[in-house]
Amino acid sequence: MDKVQDTIDLLKMYNQEHIIKLLERLEGEKKQALIEQISKIDFHQLKELYDNTKRKIEIKENKIEPLPYLDKKKLSKEQKETFQKLGEAVLEKGEYAVVTMAGGQGTRLGHSGPKGTFKLDVYGKGKYLFEILAENLKQANQKYGKIIPWYIMTSKENNNATIQFMEKHNYFGYDKNSVRFFTQSELPIVDVDGKLLVGKDMRIKEASDGNGGTYSSLRASGCLAEMKERGIKWVFIGGVDNALLKMADTVLLGMAIDKKVQIASKSIVKANPHERVGVFAKMNGHPKVIEYSEMPDKMAEEVDEDGELKYGEAHIMCNLYTIEAIEKISKETLIYHTAFKKNAYIDKNGKEVIPQRENSYKFESFIFDAFELFDDIAILRGKREDDFAPVKNKEGVDSPKTAKELYEKFWNR
């Protein structure tokens, strides 16, 4: 009984009285489950996140400067070989692990099921995105004589479907014992007044907390500890939806070692000043990725003495970390960004409401917001045609059609 009263008091304290009415209608297991879920919510954090939706974060031009990078195709033969040797040694010693972020909802693509289970129509037969990633890793395993441990981050929503899919396809020939799934954390969704939403299943509506949750979820799941036990020194973290992602690039790895940095990232040049991608920069002396929506037009168009865009290095979710860097970030709280979304809910009379317009806030942290915790990161400029074939939208730019073309062109070469 006390537990029920405690929950009611908590809900009152944080202006969530509407849930009390719903709670009173429930009995037995469903009631217990809701109480249990409410007890795990950090209401203080949620209030802060909601208050932040009212604030606009402004980027002041004068605090920003370009972040230096190395262009892979302009490296001298010696420099490239030095990097490669340094990188290869890590792979040969089995000190390298890979994380695939596969917890996204893939709403723009509109594929029913986890994004990695999407089949890209390449070479007649087609290949699943997970299959393409597995092939990339298998190549590296063969080359360096070690099996790279592969950690796949799922969401609570798509975890079962992802595991079933991989089982069904026999992990695309990957050593099953070297694949581990872990689930990312979630945060409650709130409406425009900061009220929690309850779904048809009579649970508080929650959603994945963005790909920035990778670090803390690696720790919470025990994957980080396992990596350390395995003697892993470097961890690559990449997305699930780039058909040309190179997960074991020894030049990138060697560059990071040579430059003695804790994080290295591969970039590509922006297709045009207004391409909708985040770009690398330095803000207040720290590395950062500035989202296209946050970058003033003038700055986006600025060129240097060679006529190249000053802020032209696009972030493509191709990031490499020392295990110490992951450890450090996993203990920090990254900033949360707000997305305004449509979410159905149960009203106080128990009736489901399906909104016509966006009605609620979802909170997400981004993987790259961790960069500013460091003084420096190293950037290696890759090439769009070698490194970037994203599957984001159903049609048009960054769609299955463009990714198929880029993938086939690359492999035909």
18 is a contact residue toward ligand UTP (CB under 6 A): no
Give strand ranges (E) for 59-215.
64-65, 70-71, 96-101, 119-120, 127-128, 150-154, 179-183, 186-188, 190-191, 206-208
Q: What is the spatial distance between Cα 95 and Cα 320, in angstroms, rounded to a whole number?
A: 13
Q: Does residue 104 bind ligand UTP (CB under 6 A)?
A: yes
Residue 141: which residues within 8 A CB-CB, separation 6 or more?
A: 147, 148
Q: Looking at beta carbons only, is 23 or 290 nearer to ligand UTP? A: 290
Element (H, E) at 91: helix 77-92
- Taking the least distance from each CB to ligand UTP, the nearer of 149 and 239 is 239
382 scored as a contact of ligand UTP (CB under 6 A) = no
Tell me the three state secondary structure of residue 288: strand
Binding mask 223-262 for ligand UTP (x = CB under 6 A): ----------------xxx---------------------
Closest CB to ligand UTP among residues 121, 157: 157
Nearest CB to ligand UTP, comparing residues 16 and 387: 387
Answer for the pair 135, 172: CB distance below 8 angstroms, yes or no: yes
Residue 106 or 254 with smaller CB distance to ligand UTP: 106
DSSP 369: G
Judge contact between 197 and 343, C-beta under 8 A.
Answer: yes
Q: Does 399 bind ligand UTP (CB under 6 A)?
A: no
Q: Examine residue 108 and tell whether it contacts ligand UTP (CB under 6 A).
A: yes
- Residue 228 CA from chain centroid, whole number: 22
- Give yes or no for residue 112 binding ligand UTP (CB under 6 A): no
The residue among 318 and 325 lying less far from ligand UTP, judged by its C-beta, is: 318
Segment contacting ligand UTP by CB under 6 A, of 69-77, 103-111, 217-225, 279-287: 103-111
Binding of ligand UTP by 370 (CB under 6 A) = no
Residues 152-171: x where in contact with ligand UTP by CB under 6 A, - otherwise, as a string: -x------------------
List CB contacts of 182: < 8 A, sequence separation 6 or more.
151, 152, 153, 154, 217, 218, 221, 223
Residue 148 or 152 having the CB closest to ligand UTP: 152
Instruction: Report the run of H or E that residue 266 belongs to, with start and end.
Output: strand 263-269
Identify the residue among 87, 103, 273, 400 touching ligand UTP (CB under 6 A): 103
Can residue 210 be called a binding residue for ligand UTP (CB under 6 A)?
Answer: yes
Contact in structure between 325 and 375 (CB atoms under 8 Å):
no
| Contacting residue, 16, 159, 183, 211, with ligand UTP by CB under 6 A | 211
First to last CA, the chain: 69
Number of residues near ligand UTP (by CB under 6 A): 20
Residues contributing to the site for ligand UTP (CB under 6 A): 101-109, 115, 153, 184, 208, 210-211, 239-241, 317, 392
